[in-house]
Structure 1
Amino acid sequence: MAMTIDPTSLAFLLAENRNQPMHVAGLQLFDPPDGASPDFAREMFEAAIAVDEVAPLFRRRPFYSIGTLGQWVWTEDKQFDIEHHVRHNALPRPGRVRELLELVSRLHGTMLARERPLWEMHLVEGLADGRMAMYTKVHHALVDGISAMRLMESTLSSDPAKRNMQLPFAARPPSRSATSPESDRRLADVPISALRTALGLTAEAAGLPAVLIRTLAKGIRNETSAVSLHAPRTMFNVNITGSRRFAAQGWPLERIRGVSKASGTTMNDVVLAMCAGAVRTYLLELNALPDTSLVSMVPVGLSSRKASSMSGEGGNAVGAVMVKLGTDLADPAERLESVHRSMKDGKAALASMTPNQIVAMSALGMAPSLVIPMLRLNGIARPPFNLIISNVPGPRAVQYFNGARLTGTYPVSVPMQGMALNITCNSYADDMEFGLTGCRRSVPHLQRLLVHLDDELAALEKAAGVG
């Protein structure tokens, strides 16, 4: 039976083209359990394609015709082929992480076939250290990034002895952790869902004109708000190709926490400062650093009694803050202070708004990033911001799948036209895992950013007197 595609999901389908695939993804690395067969990956693949029943979400594909009056709808794939969606791969020798990231880069640049359900899972063997990898991509029309992460987490366990566990696509009783509450909306949902909400604001948002004036005034004065009017033109803010490059690495949360405590800043501030210093060094190497500070769009969750009263079940008000990264400052301590001040001011600005006003302001701030590519003004008009940096909380305890220990989990994000670089982080156990996704042509030598992130964390430790 056909089901109408909601406006947010439809927007992700319509926004997609060969140069801008709209799927979110994740890369997980597993240590096989003690005593596992050398064919552990093959056995896992065979078990995956032998599932008795696939969950309805993963049998759904988009469809339109005269019979649907030209409207896009979800329909069940009557010729569902599990072996199209679950695939077994092997890395070429020498089986380094480098070969794995190159494979993920190629897989991530390929669009999902619309005549089939919009997801793929790749089980990868051949790593020299004996680990197995799992790369999973799902179209943003099906789930957002947070939902995808929660769905994966729902299949894991902190019990290494647990067995008979099913992969995310297998049908099973619904779990609260497998869905994303409204308060957990991913940043990529903000521009479209916020715009949709903004069009139907209730009387609760009657104070919006005054908020709009204050927000625009702050933007004009180059102060932190939900709207940026001072982002410089950079090499990231261009038309992109469909080819992707992905780089990933993790750093101990203890090191980030140490800088946070010593400097009186938040851990998210330290993560943003790491990214700011790394991007600064990267652009300096390419002789492409603007004189003024780069601006990043950063999603912010704000605890709000008003949001709780509206939903009746608690939650967070989610908004976007345009953060000045201090890339024009040579001193790492000054960059961290700039980021901290910018985030603090941005949070304070959003805290003064109602939940609907936050959503509307986020839509206003994001609107240019949608309009500029549509009008083909990339590289001509000033960008609303230069890149996206997102930090998502993950599992606090070590996780297992049928005894295989999850040693790392890295988000693979969505670069957009005019935004060639996306940095997404998630915490896992004792580490902060960074996933850097960029246009292969527009962001050359992306992996260099990993070296710069490491150097910047060491510089921040030295500046804070720790480490």
Structure 2
Amino acid sequence: MQQLSGQDASFVYLETPHTPMHIGSVGIYDPSTAPGGFVRFKDILDFIGSRLGGARSFRQRLVRLPFDLDHPYWIEDPDFDLEYHVRHIALPKPGDWRQLCIQVARLHSRPLDLSKPLWEFIIVEGLDNIEGLPPGCFALVAKVHHAAIDGMSGVEMSAAVHDLSPDKPNRIANDDWKADDLPGVSDLLIKSYFNSLRKPLQFAETMARGIPGLARLGQSVSKGDVSIANQRPAPKTRLNGKVGPHRVFDAAPFPLADIRAIKDAVPGATVNDAILAIVGGGLRHYLLGKGELPAESMTAMAPISVRAEGEKAALGNLVSAMVVGLGTHIADPLERLRHVHAEAVNSKALTNAVGARTLTDYSQFMPAGLSGIAARLYTRLGAANQHAPVFNTVVTNVPGSRVPLYFAGARMVGMYGLGPIFDSMGLINTIYSYVDTIAISFTADRDAMPDPAAYAAALQMAYEELKAAALPVAVAPKKSAKGG
């Protein structure tokens, strides 16, 4: 039995019926590479069943204390049922990209059952009319609660169900796995009591680690190495109010080689900087089209992994964050990239001065029961409509495989990400790279963004403008196929 960290538990407490806190992905597969040229749902069930030992999240469920007096625990689920977690649907004809996006958004909007292991795989067949893909492809829509994984630890689950060649047999099931008995309430309350006795000492230790960081921050500001001049609330937009229960999803894929060439146009810039500049340009075009572009730069929160080398397979979340200006107020695309790069350098310096891991450790002391009450009250009162947001959107980068992957023998031909949204932040951009493609996929509140295809087109326009500015001799690019 393992207790959740404060950061992991926060995703449980902050969940409401309108703001489920799971992340997800959409993998698209060509079954022609599988033995016999096709994959049956029964084959997929057997395949996943043979891989359950590859990731602990598959068979672990939460046990919560009465009134959330302390953070929950993970136990090995004594009632685990694979067929509950792996499901099967099909798109009606013609089976095009827009139908898939609508179905993915509908699936992603539904909360997970917190009394069971916190994941679902939905096989979606009938992808017969998507540009760039052969007929007969299927999608794997994955949903995993953010309390169980972040983008990096999610690699463990992905690795468990993917191979580097199509002819890998099913693995031998992990016979060492044993279910746990459900702990009694009295046992949990006793653990909570002793945890509360240790909290003051733990808090003092975290504070002691944080004080030198504050001193370093003061020195960096006084020397001019770090600027806090632009640290202010983000401008209010249509994307930053109370969110509803419905979602939209779409994506814009680009050649990874182009993004790398674009970032080289600004000395020191990274692939992440180039992607942030495209997101900034996409938001600029989208909001200009509605006559709603704010005069000030919009901002993005970008998660930063703080995993040590020995924690690559650790369960849960080990992340901090930085806030970066997206340059939405800048019309010139190359100047926007320079602005984003400078903002990213400064934000990283701010986070590093205090200590990203120390900032993460403070979440351990979040009051358990009060956090959930505060989240529900915040939603019920519509408080997000009454104040400026801390940031406008999230841009999170999930590194993918540089070589082709196979699921039950079927070759992956495209991969996209999904994420949670919440009151005051109704748009999350998930960046996923796979082989030679990098895709900006996004999840948004349907009331705030009823036209996701327009935002996808705006991202495409921002990419083309930035490429033309950074690589003026390049031929105008063609629109990328959805399959990568």
Indicate whether the TM-score tops 0.5: yes
Residue by residue, what CA displacement relative to the aligned partner does 1:333-359 show, whole Å, maximum 9, x if unpaired? 221111111112223334444455565
Q: Give the Cα separation in 2 of the matches to 1:267 and 1:466.
A: 20
Counterpart of 2:274 in structure 1 is 270
Residue by residue, what CA displacement relative to the aligned partner does 1:348-386 show, whole Å, maximum 9, x if unpaired? 3344444555658999xxxxxx98947753132221111
The alignment status of 1:252 with 2:252, answered yes or no, reads no
**TM-score normalised by L of structure 2:** 0.77
The alignment status of 1:164 with 2:167, answered yes or no, reads no
Residue pair 1:27, 1:134 contacting (<8 A) in 2 also: yes
Q: Which amino acid aligns with 1:451?
A: A
Q: Give the Cα separation in 2 of the matches to 1:68 and 1:301.
A: 27
> Closer, same or farther in 2 for the Cα pair 1:241/1:199, shift >3 Å?
farther
Q: Give the Cα separation in 1 of the matches to 2:262 and 2:99.
A: 33
Residue by residue, what CA displacement relative to the aligned partner does 1:265-323 show, whole Å, maximum 9, x if unpaired? 322111111100001111111221111110111234699xxx88xx899xxx9642221
> Closer, same or farther in 2 for the Cα pair 1:240/1:297, shift >3 Å?
same
Residue by residue, what CA displacement relative to the aligned partner does 1:65-104 show, whole Å, maximum 9, x if unpaired? 7799897444444433322211111111101122111111
The alignment status of 1:380 with 2:383, answered yes or no, reads no
How far apart are residue 10 of structure 1 and its match? Answer: 2.6
Instruction: Identify which of 200, 205, 208 aligns with 1:203.
Output: 208
Counterpart of 1:83 in structure 2 is 83
SS in 1 for 2:127: coil
Q: Which amino acid aligns with 2:346?
A: D
Residue by residue, what CA displacement relative to the aligned partner does 1:165-221 show, whole Å, maximum 9, x if unpaired? 58xxx74899xxxxxxxxxxxxxxxxxxxxx99774153433244356579999x97
* Comparing 337-346 and 86-95, the one that deviates more: 337-346
Q: Which amino acid aligns with 2:18?
A: N
SS in 2 for 1:123: strand
Q: Which has the higher contact order (CA 8 A, sep 6+)?
A: 2
Q: Give the Cα separation in 2 of the matches to 1:122 and 1:410.
A: 15
Counterpart of 1:193 in structure 2 is none
Q: Which amino acid aligns with 1:58?
A: F
Counterpart of 1:177 in structure 2 is none
Q: Give the Cα separation in 1 of the matches to 2:461 and 2:110.
A: 33
Residue pair 1:204, 1:356 contacting (<8 A) in 2 also: no
Residue pair 1:62, 1:73 contacting (<8 A) in 2 also: yes
Q: Which amino acid aligns with 2:13?
A: L
Residue by residue, what CA displacement relative to the aligned partner does 1:40-78 show, whole Å, maximum 9, x if unpaired? 243434425765977764333334477998974444444
Q: Give the Cα separation in 1 of the matches to 2:467 and 2:301.
A: 25
**TM-score normalised by L of structure 1:** 0.79
Q: Which amino acid aligns with 1:430?
A: D
Counterpart of 1:330 in structure 2 is 331
SS in 2 for 1:241: coil
> Closer, same or farther in 2 for the Cα pair 1:147/1:353, shift >3 Å?
same
Instruction: Identify which of 280, 283, 293 aligns with 1:279.
Output: 283
Instruction: Identify which of 394, 404, 409 aligns with 2:410.
Output: 404
Aligned residues: 425
* Comparing 102-111 and 384-393, the one that deviates more: 384-393
Residue pair 1:31, 1:406 contacting (<8 A) in 2 also: yes
Q: Which amino acid aligns with 2:442?
A: L
Q: Give the Cα separation in 2 of the matches to 1:214 and 1:446.
A: 45
Q: Give the Cα separation in 2 of the matches to 1:115 and 1:173.
A: 24
Residue by residue, what CA displacement relative to the aligned partner does 1:150-169 show, whole Å, maximum 9, x if unpaired? 32034322223333258xxx
How far apart are residue 140 of structure 1 and its match? Answer: 1.7
> Closer, same or farther in 2 for the Cα pair 1:205/1:115, shift >3 Å?
closer
Structural mapping, 1:211-360, within 5 Å: 211=216, 223=229, 228-264=231-267, 265-300=269-304, 319-356=320-357, 359=360
Residue pair 2:241, 2:384 contacting (<8 A) in 1 also: yes
Q: Give the Cα separation in 1 of the matches to 2:260 and 2:175.
A: 38
SS in 2 for 1:449: helix
Q: Which amino acid aligns with 2:459?
A: L
The alignment status of 1:138 with 2:144, answered yes or no, reads yes
Residue pair 2:32, 2:38 contacting (<8 A) in 1 also: no
Q: Give the Cα separation in 2 of the matches to 1:318 and 1:118.
A: 20
Residue pair 1:244, 1:440 contacting (<8 A) in 2 also: yes
> Closer, same or farther in 2 for the Cα pair 1:142/1:353, shift >3 Å?
closer
Alpha carbon RMSD of aligned pairs, Å? 3.8
Residue by residue, what CA displacement relative to the aligned partner does 1:398-424 show, whole Å, maximum 9, x if unpaired? 112343111111111111111000001
Instruction: Identify which of 447, 451, 455 aligns with 1:449.
Output: 455
Q: Which amino acid aligns with 1:342?
A: E
Residue by residue, what CA displacement relative to the aligned partner does 1:103-143 show, whole Å, maximum 9, x if unpaired? 11111000112332222111111110211110111112222
> Closer, same or farther in 2 for the Cα pair 1:373/1:295, shift >3 Å?
farther
Q: Which amino acid aligns with 1:127?
A: L
SS in 2 for 1:58: helix
Residue pair 2:35, 2:167 contacting (<8 A) in 1 also: no
Q: Give the Cα separation in 1 of the matches to 2:57 and 2:320.
A: 28
Q: Give the Cα separation in 2 of the matches to 1:124 and 1:396.
A: 25
> Closer, same or farther in 2 for the Cα pair 1:412/1:51, shift >3 Å?
same
Q: Give the Cα separation in 2 of the matches to 1:95 and 1:344.
A: 44
Q: Which amino acid aligns with 1:13?
A: V
Q: Give the Cα separation in 2 of the matches to 1:319 and 1:115.
A: 28
Q: Give the Cα separation in 1 of the matches to 2:39 and 2:444.
A: 32
Counterpart of 1:155 in structure 2 is 161
- Unpaired runs of at least 5, structure 2: 129-134, 178-200, 313-317, 365-373, 475-484
Q: Give the Cα separation in 1 of the matches to 2:463 and 2:52.
A: 46
Counterpart of 1:16 in structure 2 is 15
Residue pair 1:32, 1:403 contacting (<8 A) in 2 also: yes
Residue pair 1:18, 1:242 contacting (<8 A) in 2 also: yes
The alignment status of 1:121 with 2:121, answered yes or no, reads yes
Q: Which amino acid aligns with 1:104?
A: V
